[in-house]
Structure 1
Amino acid sequence: MISKTLKSTLICSIIVLSSCNEENQKPIETAMSDNVLIQEWTGPFEGVPAFDKISVEAIKPAMEEAMKLNLEEIEAIANNTEPATFKNTIVAMESAGKPLDRVFAYYGIMGANVSSPEFRKVQSELAPKLSDFRSKISQNEKLFQRIKTVYDAAQKSPLEPQEQRVVDLIYKRFEMNGANLNTEKKARYAAINKELSSLYTYFANNVLHDEENYITYLNKDQLGGLADGYIKSAAKIATDKGQEGKYAITNTRSSMDPFLTYSTERELRKQVWENYYSRGDNGDEYDNNNIIAKILKLRKERVGLMGYKNYAEWRLQDRMAKTPENAMDLMLKVWPAATERVKEEVADMQTIANELGDNITIEPWDYRYYAEKVRKKKYDLDSDEVKQYLQLDKLTEAMFYVAGELFNYKFTPVEEDSVPVFHEDVKVWEVTDKDSGENIGLWYLDPYAREGKRSGAWATTYRSSASFEGDMNVLASNNSNFVKPAPGEAVLVSWDDATTFFHEFGHALHFFSADVKYPTLNGGVRDYTEFQSQLLERWLSTDNVINKYLVHYKTGEPIPASLVEKIKKASTFNQGFGTTEYLASALMDMKLHLADPTEIDINQFERETLVELGMPKELPMRHRTPQFGHVFSGEGYATAYYGYMWADVLTSDASEAFKEAKGGFYDKEVADKLVKYLFAPRNAMDPAEAYRKFRGRDAKIEALMRDRGFPISEE
């Protein structure tokens, strides 16, 4: 689930830089390349990516050329004979790397949305080269000395707020990436990064391999409990894969989750469950356990070069949590209530299984199936009935409505073929201000699962907001993995999937609403940037959305008030499962990076840690270690997966601000403060300060406990 730009994902928080030769000279845009992937974007809406021209053959030479041009610009900044100033050093850096930005937009799409074995080979070849490129920037001594000169001067004579913030962030990132190391340690640091870059690529590609190759095919007599729409989609997927007459359950969450919830075939549920939770852990050439062990050792060695005790200590110093102890403290405050709730949920499920005469003991592949039966019994709520009112198209309209009410945005479909897309499933909307008609940007939606597309849901930008060279519009995307319907069928989704859809749209709104001067300020603090998107989830259950956009996919009738009441009463249902599966992964992430990795056996460590935590045997971690891409296919979420819980505290507390307001979730005054302090600043303001400006105080954990129906400690 994830929400940052492709560039920042791939650059691993090293700033992509460019240069200018003199104080009063603008950065030199490189000569036009013959390679289409490096060329300036043309066409409507201030220029758009030529997604219809992307190819595996073009990506490697484009990346190599863009890196070469960028390094030439770096050298020009580093060797500028004029004294270092904010303008000729920091502004020059911020103004740069435009060809590389463009190439990374294509590279990210090819890796996440339309991957292939041929592209993965190129990824493996480019990974060490990208690492070398990053090291040549982060370890450029002359460049860092110029940055340090500007930084030191700004500590004595502070700049205006956004200028000061960008100087502080750039200096800190270089410092955290070894800029102060001696020559010998810098060489080792670079070598470690190079090795890690390849390991991250191998890890991600191994998971993708297992997702593509472990497919469960069903016969017609094995479809018990499954919805018609799901069956039709499974039939089409099987036909597309050359298995006419069968039904394919793919190895992705969007396919696995409804199967485990509704299928009456227990042995098949077990098979589908095992396929999904053993990704990267099958003891073959695509097994990730040894890769993870190497990653942990290299990460610890790398931060040790800078004097840190462990990777977590290094990583969290510039996050809201600040220390691993603070992050662990939050998680362990919630963990006991979550696991205690699981016991209650399992007892309820076992009772129903016994009543049905099923003669089983609840196992992980039974949890969703019997939880659904408990939901029906306790709340008379049938998830499949709710899905009839959750059409993807109507949910999209609902999100546009919320964006209009809170942000004053209007979404209009662009004329087909006027904007290039990378797949026929992708649709594009223009985003404008409702009053002025000013173009804010374009929103791309890639909703369906397919081979070569990574699982899950995410948001990203192809072009981010920055105003220091003149205002520019934003090109943002949302990407999901809904099962594509058979022709003529509506896309019906679960309440959880609808929530995720709103969540990822929250990231897009965060991109569109950014009011920052410099590109670096678009970056995020990991345990804060999930907050804005988690907060937007709350608007799905507002009366305005429910009454207008939740209509039956066949009859068009609005969702009955009685069903809405059931949904609201069941809002804390299964919170034990949801909270525990997430927290188990977040705690595992932190404990892995606090442990001594010298002789670590990943499978053994996972088993022993779960026992130590008291993990209920009836459910798995949301992301088992061998498939934990957030943490091991890059560094964005490493020791930072706890950030979703940290953000949840902020979300629950901020939601209460709306609940307390006269106009509720559509209160104009609170909505204006929401945009001004929580969305528009991005990283131009310290997150804790921004939240206090919105709420008037720090967030309190009690709001989260209330939201989840957990008891609140008297301490």
Structure 2
Amino acid sequence: MSNPLLEKFETPFESAPFSKIKNEDYKPAFIVAIKEAKDEVDAITSNPEAPTFENTIEAMELSGEKLGRISAIFFNLNSAETNDEMQQIAQEVSPLLSEFGNDVRLNQALFERIKKVYNQKEQLNLTAEQAYLLDKKYKGFSRNGANLNDEEKSKLREIDKQLSMLSLQFGQNVLAETNNYQLIITNENDLKGLPSYAIEQAKTDAEQKNSEGWVITLQAPSYIPFMQYAENRGLREKLFKANSVKAFQENEFNNEENVKQIVKLRHERAQILGYKTHAAYVLEERMAKTPETVLDFLNDLLVKAKPFAEKEIKELSDFAQEIDGIDTLQRWDHAYYAEKLKQKKFNLSEEELKPYFQLENVTQGAFDIATKLYGITFKEINTIDKYNDEVITYEVLDKDGNFLSLLYADFFPRAGKRPGAWMTSFREASNVNGVTKRPHISIVCNFTKPTKDTPSLLTFQEVTTLFHEFGHALHGMLPNTVYESLAGTNVYWDFVELPSQFYENFCYEPEALKLFAKHYKTSEIIPQELIEKVKESSSYMEGYQTVRQLSLGLLDMAYHANNLKEIDNLQAFEKESFKATELYPEVENNMTSTSFSHIFQGGYSSGYYSYKWAEVLDADAFEFFKETGIFNPETAQKFHKLLSSGGTIEPMELYENFRGHKPTPDALLKRAGLVKA
């Protein structure tokens, strides 16, 4: 029987033929593709000719293409459109992929060929990108065990296999816990304070779950409005506590042991490879370079931000006491009173803003801004196969009308989709030996769904999230590079957030807002008065938000920058890590780590600081745009060069080429209101 994953995709733009793929196709396809990839590696190592850049480095780059494509399809769907069967397949194929990865990285004959090319690189007359690829391939082997003895290599293989399984299980547990909880409300009085869109959504969720009344879930579009607006303090507390014990309960989805084992194994792996800690290993290939630099960066920002945060919480506590007699403000009170105080200070509410942010208009706005900056255009097409009917597909063209990329947009929560928002790719860009392959990029979100009576109206936070993920998507769609492994978002992880966070800045600019912020009923452009309020309130609670972000970065480093052999009590460990950043009374049985997917399932271990690090870059970069005009073609062209270069140039060099100098934190501190402008 034919397997669509193993055949050439005879589809528009060679896009993934989702409707033809069945779950039973995946494992056989992985097995065949792994065998083919091994054969390709064997062909390189058995080549009787002397090692050259072309027959070794470039051949390595081109090997395993089919396996990479199958992996992208499967694991992207395992995040966005999973089910029990797919999760079981993931458990079965992950060890196979881990073993294959180590078969390659620990292949001594292959490393010897790479080393010979690397040692003569000065005489090879390579292009800058070829030299960068050679350096990356060599480090990929030397940093991942190629110089180890056989016993150490065997241990490394076992650790990597265990880590792949643990990470997978961690994510599956978080998804299960998110899906399993629901707060059923049968008394309409308990909905008091909720805006109509949230009530309508709760009713829709109840109907979909065949439940009476209204249902509140732990999905962000349901959870956040309830915490922000529900007057019933007891229910806010109940929902908060349910969210804070995700994968930290006495059931089959508890992630405590998974966290302990992941941290332990990462540390063992780093030491086998000759590094003091996992963070030391990871950060060697980051802009920050060392754990000490990261900790200095985080702690320096904490010193600047915490006094502002404490002042904000004091003001919020006084406000809650004044209007509701709340003696001790708790964590489940924060969003509720912060929203009320925001309304009082700025006469601005989310309810007032949402009608101007219909999802379709916001999406078009993100496109239109990209058109003004880079000349690229977006055309919705219906000839591309989709993995879910909700997905929208676009053909993206460059300024000359040439095909640039495919874009998939998947906006709403559902049971098979993990929480959060992310950008990913089904295919990366490359242009080797005249064979041009353009990327297939996807953005996946969990936004407020449309209801029977109302289209999807976004909160302002959802607007910035869409722009954030679209900023990543632009990075993925614009490469002008030769090699896939250096294209798009294949850059240092403390640089990868620059394009995404940079793009968020347009959400606060009147010139940009007027392109898409239109009332969904009247098409009236958002009033200037509201724009001013949005800008004025943009640094509201910024001290608190900064400290919260820093607390997560410090927790990440506590796990990965210390010489940890064992963690006896996860909760005590986390509590100690958060001590310097706590702004509210401790909540018993509260846990972040067991659902901290960024560092235990995603790729952000020892890298969560990247969000703040990139904020320094994005604030400094956008300051340049504001100085020259936010749609200034020359400035935009410079930033386009930064985006299209991918990982072919050292990030700091790339940034300096754009900006003319190294980034400074001044613009960030000014934007955040943490220094006087």
- TM-score with structure 2 setting the length: 0.96
State the 1:431 CA deviation. Answer: 0.6
Residue 686 (str. 1) matches residue 654 (str. 2):
no
Contact 1:38 1:102 in 2 (8 A): no
Distance 2:327 2:208 in 1: 36
Distance 1:599 1:463 in 2: 40
1:426 maps to which of 375, 391, 400 = 391
Contact 1:375 1:381 in 2 (8 A): yes
Using the TM superposition, name which of 644-653 and 52-61 deviates more.
52-61
Q: Secondary structure at 2:328's aligned position in 1?
A: coil
Q: Which residue of 1 aligns with 2:371?
A: 404
Q: Secondary structure at 2:446's aligned position in 1?
A: strand
Distance 1:329 1:43 in 2: 51
The C-alpha deviation readout for 1:14-49, integer Å capped at 9, x for no partner, is xxxxxxxxxxxxxxxxxxx821122222222x3110
Provide the aligned length of Structure 1 versus Structure 2: 671
State the 1:394 CA deviation. Answer: 0.6
Distance 1:67 1:516 in 2: 26
Residue 475 (str. 1) matches residue 440 (str. 2):
yes
Q: Which residue of 2 aligns with 1:20?
A: none
Contact 1:466 1:519 in 2 (8 A): yes
Q: AA paired with 1:272?
A: L
Aligned ranges for residues 91-490 of structure 1 at < 5 Å?
91-155=58-122, 157=124, 159-219=126-186, 220-243=188-211, 245-414=212-381, 416=382, 418-434=383-399, 436-469=400-433, 470-490=435-455
State the 1:343 CA deviation. Answer: 1.6
Aligned ranges for residues 649-664 of structure 1 at < 5 Å?
649-661=616-628, 664=629
Q: Secondary structure at 2:42's aligned position in 1?
A: helix
- TM-score with structure 1 setting the length: 0.91
Q: AA paired with 1:485?
A: P
Distance 1:614 1:568, change over 3 A: closer
State the 1:317 CA deviation. Answer: 0.4
Q: Secondary structure at 1:665's aligned position in 2?
A: coil
Distance 1:712 1:75 in 2: 62
Distance 1:622 1:570, change over 3 A: farther
Q: Secondary structure at 1:216's aligned position in 2?
A: strand
Contact 1:289 1:603 in 2 (8 A): no
Contact 1:273 1:365 in 2 (8 A): yes
Distance 1:460 1:622, change over 3 A: farther
Flag structure 1 segments of 5+ consecutive residues without an equivalent.
Answer: 1-32
Q: Which residue of 2 aligns with 1:518?
A: 483
The C-alpha deviation readout for 1:214-266, integer Å capped at 9, x for no partner, is 111222332111122222222112211121x3222121233211110111111
Q: Which residue of 1 aligns with 2:595?
A: 627
Distance 2:181 2:378 in 1: 39
Distance 1:200 1:388 in 2: 40
State the 1:98 CA deviation. Answer: 2.2
Q: Secondary structure at 2:411's aligned position in 1?
A: strand
State the 1:500 CA deviation. Answer: 1.0
Q: AA paired with 1:498?
A: V
Distance 1:516 1:619 in 2: 50
State the 1:556 CA deviation. Answer: 1.7
Q: AA paired with 1:231?
A: I
State the 1:614 CA deviation. Answer: 4.0
Q: Secondary structure at 2:408's aligned position in 1?
A: strand
Residue 604 (str. 1) matches residue 572 (str. 2):
yes
Distance 1:389 1:304 in 2: 53
State the 1:349 CA deviation. Answer: 1.7
Contact 1:233 1:486 in 2 (8 A): yes
State the 1:576 CA deviation. Answer: 2.0
1:494 maps to which of 459, 468, 471 = 459
Contact 2:76 2:424 in 1 (8 A): no
Distance 2:523 2:375 in 1: 27
Q: AA paired with 1:552?
A: H
Residue 564 (str. 1) matches residue 531 (str. 2):
yes
Using the TM superposition, name which of 262-271 and 93-102 deviates more.
93-102
Distance 1:622 1:565 in 2: 38
Distance 2:550 2:251 in 1: 29
Flag structure 2 segments of 5+ consecutive residues without an equivalent.
Answer: none
Q: Secondary structure at 1:571's aligned position in 2?
A: coil
Q: Which residue of 1 aligns with 2:43?
A: 76
State the 1:379 CA deviation. Answer: 1.2
Distance 1:38 1:222, change over 3 A: farther
Q: Which residue of 1 aligns with 2:551?
A: 584
Residue 670 (str. 1) matches residue 635 (str. 2):
yes
Q: Secondary structure at 1:471's aligned position in 2?
A: strand
State the 1:155 CA deviation. Answer: 4.2
Q: Which residue of 2 aligns with 1:13?
A: none
Distance 1:697 1:248, change over 3 A: same
Q: Which residue of 2 aligns with 1:555?
A: 522
The C-alpha deviation readout for 1:395-423, integer Å capped at 9, x for no partner, is 01101111101111111111x3x111000
The C-alpha deviation readout for 1:546-572, integer Å capped at 9, x for no partner, is 223111122221211111111111111
Runs of 4+ in 1 over 6 A off after TM superposition: 619-623
The C-alpha deviation readout for 1:350-386, integer Å capped at 9, x for no partner, is 2222222343421111100000111111111112111
Q: Secondary structure at 1:460's aligned position in 2?
A: strand
Q: Secondary structure at 2:437's aligned position in 1?
A: coil
Q: Secondary structure at 1:493's aligned position in 2?
A: coil
2:500 maps to which of 528, 533, 536 = 533
Contact 2:428 2:438 in 1 (8 A): yes
Q: AA paired with 1:202?
A: Q
Q: AA paired with 2:390?
A: D
Q: Secondary structure at 2:432's aligned position in 1?
A: coil
State the 1:299 CA deviation. Answer: 1.0
Contact 2:313 2:583 in 1 (8 A): no
Distance 2:346 2:453 in 1: 33
Distance 2:316 2:613 in 1: 30
Contact 1:352 1:373 in 2 (8 A): no
1:41 maps to which of 2, 6, 9 = 9
Q: AA paired with 1:42?
A: E
State the 1:488 CA deviation. Answer: 4.4
Residue 86 (str. 1) matches residue 50 (str. 2):
no
Using the TM superposition, name which of 352-361 and 425-434 deviates more.
352-361
Distance 1:177 1:357 in 2: 58
Contact 1:367 1:619 in 2 (8 A): no
State the 1:619 CA deviation. Answer: 9.0
Distance 1:623 1:65, change over 3 A: farther
Q: Secondary structure at 1:356's aligned position in 2?
A: helix
